[in-house]
């Protein structure tokens, strides 16, 4: 049972570089999410995809883009990385984008931007 | 708008002692409430959830939480702490149609031998 798989687990970038964080789930879930976790701030939603073919902004979307490639995969792209984007990024999925659906999380990507 | 307050950032208890982690929420409509646990270098794992029905909710690893509407609270408890309970705990709320999860800032639980 892989659940939600994120790659890479660690990455160091220089300011201005671009990269894509990958996420895949094998639970046949319809909804997928990207969060960032910063010390003392909990998790903040960057983007989400309620179902295949749709994406929407969350609380902190600036500087990021997403692609829902298919039902399984949801990627997060940093076009021009900034030090303020140093964080731990989590992908999550849920069966449906409704209030009482628990979300299942990957183990995170730890991203440092110098 | 919905919000979650987890007062304090760190709680330390002795092994075998009661664990009490507080969570208060703000919502104008009936909420759905969740507790998640995060072990070091891992993602979040669902401990328990309240949607409707019984206000005392039992979760994994001996944890439980009680929804108190009058106090807008959803505190997490465990009668006897174990060393393996050391982790960060997040309370989260979801309200209304098409609402997303809003997380509290998290509380780190330490367990002393």
State the Cα torsion B102-A21-A73-A58 to the nearest 10°. 30
CB atoms within 10 A of CB B11: 17
Compute the distance between CA of residue A55 and CA of residue A94 in angstroms, rounded to an integer: 15
| A29 contacts in chain B (CB < 8 Å) | none
Average pLDDT, whole number, for chain A? Answer: 93
Q: CA A48 to CA A97: how far, in whole Å?
A: 9
Distance CA B111, CA A10 (A): 29
CA nearest to A50 within chain B: B98
SS3 content of chain A, % helix, strand, coil (to 5): 5, 50, 45
Question: What would the mean pLDDT of A11-17 be, rounded to a whole number?
Answer: 96
The pLDDT > 90 percentage for chain A reads 80
* Residues of A whose CB is below 8 A from B44: 43, 90, 92, 103, 105
Whether A4 and B45 lie within 8 Å, measured CB to CB: no
What is the per-residue pLDDT for A100?
Answer: 73
Please give the Cα distance from A84 to A63 (Å, whole number). 10
pLDDT by residue (tens digit) across A41-62?
Answer: 889 999 999 888 899 999 999 9
Cα–Cα dist B7/A106, whole Å:
27
Q: Which of B25, B43, B52 to mutate to test the interface with A (most CBs of A within 10 A)?
A: B43
Q: Please tell me the predicted confidence (pLDDT) of residue B109.
A: 97
Chain A residues with CB-CB distance to B96 below 8 A? 99
- In eight-state DSSP terms, residue A99 is T
Intervals of chain B under pLDDT 70 = 96-99
Residues in chain A: 114
């Amino acid at each position: 049972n892989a659940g939600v798989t994120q790659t890479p687990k660690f990455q160091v970038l220089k300011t201005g570089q671009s990269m894509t964080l990958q996420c895949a789930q094998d639970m046949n879930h319809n909804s997928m999410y990207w969060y960032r976790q910063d010390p003392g701030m909990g998790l903040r939603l960057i983007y989400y995809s309620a179902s295949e073919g749709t994406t929407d902004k969350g609380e902190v979307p600036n500087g990021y883009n997403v692609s829902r490639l298919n039902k399984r995969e949801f990627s997060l792209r940093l076009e021009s990385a900034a030090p303020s984007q140093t964080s731990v990024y989590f992908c999550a999925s849920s069966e449906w984008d409704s209030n009482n659906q628990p979300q299942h999380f990957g183990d995170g990507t730890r991203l440092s931007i110098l | 708008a919905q919000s979650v307050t987890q007062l304090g950032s760190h709680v330390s208890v002795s092994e075998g002692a009661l664990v009490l982690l507080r969570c208060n929420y703000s919502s104008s409509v009936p909420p759905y409430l969740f507790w998640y646990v995060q072990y070091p270098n891992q993602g979040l794992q669902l401990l328990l959830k309240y949607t409707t029905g019984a206000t005392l909710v039992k979760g994994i690893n001996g944890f439980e939480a009680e929804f108190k509407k009058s106090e807008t609270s959803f505190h997490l408890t465990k009668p006897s702490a174990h060393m393996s309970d050391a982790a960060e705990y997040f309370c989260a709320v979801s309200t209304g149609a098409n609402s997303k999860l809003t997380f509290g800032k998290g509380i780190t639980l330490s367990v002393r031998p």
